Amino acid sequence: MTTRGNTNLPGPNGGIDETHDPNLRSWVESANDPNTDFPIQNLPFCAFTSDDLEGTWSFGLRIGESILDLEEVHRRGLTKALKLWNGSHFAHAMLNDVGLSKEIRWLAQSLLGHSGKLASSARNAQAGLLINASQTQLMLPMDRVPNYTDFYASIHHATNVGSMFRPDNALLPNYKHIPIGYHGRASSIVPSGTSFHRPVGQTSPPDSDPSAGPGFGPCKLMDYELEMGCVIGRGNDLGSPISIADAESHIFGLCIVNDWSARDLQKWEYVPLGPFLAKNFATTISPYIVTMEALAPFRIPAYERPATDPRPLPYLTSDANTARGGFDITLEVHLQSAEMAKRSMAPVRLSKGNFRHMYWTFAQMVAHHTVNGCNLQPGDLLASGTISGPTRDSRGSMIELTWDGDPFANPPKLVPGTQRTPIELPTGEKRTFLADGDTVIMKAYCEREGFRRIGFGECRGTVLPARV
């Protein structure tokens, strides 16, 4: 591999170039497994530590069952081909400079490819360059998350949840005009594999006795939310909006997000200002950032709105966003109870959906987020909101998955939110919401004929008993 193609998005080839060639192979044999999430065509970024690093951490690229240590690549002088690297820590340098991430992709494929001078050098000196991923501790894939914003971009999720409580008015008047979002808590974002304690807080008085006053104690309606996250690379100055035409040049890549939700706490607190204690106790993200370059073959048109829906205002509209604003990403949620783990039973899949059904695109979220002059910063996380599709088995949260209503049926089936069918696990256990000891595993991957399958790894977390 000796040439660098056009990886700008969008472009004449939609950002697809020789780095996406499905015939590319690596001397790292595990990367050639057709079932791996991490072939040489992917190369997602991650942050990790290991015993060899003696308490420090490094930035790397996942390849098969290994991680390429980018700091070590630089120490050995193998980054001389990188014209854009300015000597700062890789985490800062790449988030700030999308061009550098493209250069790193080219260099890494040259180092890890099946043939070539750089590949021969790397293969002969692989000790220390390549680390077995199982011998590392994966961290947040950026050194820190300065800010976190959670959106509400799935019209199927918004309609489902709205129909539970407002059957005659599921969507509020603003939903189809602006990407709805709120500022979340960045400090409680945790990497995949982190366990957390069930939150404690106030809950609403019982419907049968509103005068009884609120209750207090552990959350009883613990839920997950399947989301994708957009990691900001280059930021913008305060007071300088990002146009929708330029929005994707500020996006470094995507990851999986589980925005855990305490539904009973949320019901009591969310009016009038929105989620607070129901959300800020933990948000789990996957340990890999899949770059926009790697995702180029899996770009699709934005969600096609019905002709009767209002057209977005001009600042939320561009031909490029209409043509390629979406992502064809398959998403799955799996659950393993403590009893299942005790019996060595594999997790069971609860749902399977696709990111293509999102009503608002990430480019629109970035443009709307900054239209008032808000300044995004490198490492900021923008989450999509719960990803649900048009069918029951594609719903991205338990509050939807166990609900017996279906506003998308013909005719719609709308029932009160209390009417639910529990999920039955292989052990005979039943769930309408999560129990202590439950582990939720989210997965995401992209497939398209003529290209290698790529994946995001796992986003995993376990609910521990409340501290009371």
Q: Give dist(CA 362, CA 158) in Å, integer.
A: 17
Which of 156, 157, 334, 369 is catalytic? The answer is 157
Q: Work out whether strand 439-446 and strand 454-464 pair parallel, antiparallel, or are unpaired.
A: antiparallel
- H helical segments located in 80-169: 90-96, 98-112, 117-124, 155-165
Specify the DSSP element, H or E, that contains 216: strand 215-218
CA 181 → CA 267, 295, 368, distances in Å?
Answer: 17, 25, 10
Q: Give dist(CA 139, CA 327) in Å, integer.
A: 25
Residue 117: exposed, middle, or buried by beta-carbon count in 10 A (0-12, 13-18, 19+)?
exposed
Specify the DSSP element, H or E, that contains 432: none
CB contact at 8 A, 429 and 339: yes
369 is catalytic: no
CA 403 → CA 226, 352, 432, 441, distances in Å?
Answer: 16, 16, 9, 21
Amino acid making up residue 266: Q
**Quick check: bond before 191 cis, omega within 30?**
no
Residues recognised as catalytic = 157
